[in-house]
Amino acid sequence: MGIVSTIERALTRESNRSDETAETGTKSTGAYWCDDCNVRVRNVDVEAEGLDRDDEGTPVCPDCGTSMRFERSHADGCAC
């Protein structure tokens, strides 16, 4: 089944992870917001959500069609 193989792949990937830099490469660095609709899509989910992009490559809101505002995630900013 597709779901099982997806989980297996995720688990395999988890155990195969050898360096930390690879992890940050796949992590969400922020999210796109539509202030009018209160819609939030993580930047790593834009493709999965199938959002259209404007001429500059900025995802547009699926509800109202305006360009969304990018906001960096503060959770990833720890430098300790």
Interface residues with Zn ion (CB under 5 A)? 34, 36-37, 61, 63-64
CB nearer Zn ion, residue 7 or residue 64: 64
**CB of 55: closest distance to Zn ion in angstroms?**
18
- Is residue 35 a contact partner of residue 75, using CB atoms and an 8 Å limit? no
**CB of 48: closest distance to Zn ion in angstroms?**
18
**CB of 69: closest distance to Zn ion in angstroms?**
10
- Find the helix or strand (DSSP H, E) in which 5 lies: helix 2-16
Query: Which of these, 25, 32, 28, 29, lies nearest to 53 by C-alpha position?
Result: 32
CB nearer Zn ion, residue 37 or residue 44: 37
Round to whole Å and give the CA distance between 33 and 8: 32
